């Protein structure tokens, strides 16, 4: 009996001393890694728009006809990753040739000296549902400022050629923060508002 007692005590001591003693017998399951896929913007099914107020009354809209970009997305989980966009300033179009020429001049975008507008994300936070907050650096006329855009993952679809994804983004910036300081006052009202509304609606596709 003495030997049995000693043996039992030894077993209990060994178990108590073991670092595995209080660990669950059930193996832990590691979280599945996020499978990010790179999507390339399909410019034929996308648009980059902007809106400004004229004389504090009407809204004048314009668009850029030439742009390119990518973003990362896990279509199954709805998790988003890095995003970037490059816009050709010379492709600006407001359906008015005289205004287009003025916007490309040194009064505004100075397209000859600064031919690109770029956006590079620095962080993407999932909000409610299919909405996200996209923080990033926007560069216009050689000036870079941090901005935050509201983004909606409008939908995804898997095809034999790969995944398709639609993303809509909106935000506002102050043009004078980027050196677009041209101004003219008519009867106490600015001809062109300082605030610019950006609307970016893209369809993008992954590699097959």
pLDDT in tens, the chain (208 residues): 433 443 444 434 444 444 433 333 444 433 444 589 999 999 999 999 999 988 777 799 999 999 999 999 998 777 888 999 999 999 999 999 999 999 999 999 999 999 999 999 999 999 999 999 999 999 999 999 999 999 999 999 999 889 999 999 999 999 999 998 887 655 555 678 889 999 999 999 998 7
The pTM (predicted TM-score) of the whole model is 0.80
Other CB atoms within 10 A of residue 87 CB? 21
Report the distance separating Cα 86 and Cα 77, nearest Å: 27
The two structure tokens encoding residue 44? 């034929």
Beta bridge partners of 131: 152
pLDDT recorded at residue 34: 55
What's the pLDDT score for residue 30? 38
- Other CB atoms closer than 10 Å to residue 89's CB: what's the count? 21
Buried b (16+ CB within 10 A) or exposed e, 43-60: beebebebebbeeeeeeb
The domain spans of the chain are 35-206
CATH classification for the domain delimited by 35-206, as one of 2.40.128.110, 2.130.10.10, 2.60.40.10, 1.10.10.10: 2.40.128.110
Output the pLDDT for position 184: 66
| pLDDT at residue 79, rounded to an integer | 84
């Amino acid at each position: 009996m003495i030997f049995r007692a000693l043996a039992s005590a030894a077993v209990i001591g060994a178990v108590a001393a073991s670092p595995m003693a209080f660990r669950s017998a059930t193996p832990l399951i590691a979280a599945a890694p996020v499978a990010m896929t790179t999507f390339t913007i399909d410019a034929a099914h996308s648009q980059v728009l902007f809106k400004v107020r004229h004389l504090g009354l009407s809204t004048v809209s314009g668009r850029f006809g030439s742009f390119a970009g990518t973003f990362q997305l896990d279509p199954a989980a709805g998790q988003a990753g890095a995003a970037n966009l490059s816009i050709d300033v010379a492709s600006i179009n407001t359906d008015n040739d005289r205004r287009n020429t003025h916007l490309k001049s040194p009064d505004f975008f100075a397209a000859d000296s600064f031919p690109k507008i770029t956006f590079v994300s620095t962080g993407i936070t999932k909000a409610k549902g299919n909405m996200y907050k996209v923080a990033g650096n926007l560069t216009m006329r050689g000036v870079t400022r941090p901005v935050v855009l509201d983004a909606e993952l409008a939908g995804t679809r898997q095809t034999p050629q790969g995944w398709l994804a639609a993303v809509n983004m909106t935000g506002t910036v102050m043009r004078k923060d980027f050196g677009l300081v041209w101004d003219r006052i008519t009867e106490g009202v600015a001809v062109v508002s300082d605030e610019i509304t950006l609307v970016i609606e893209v369809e993008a596709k992954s590699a097959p």
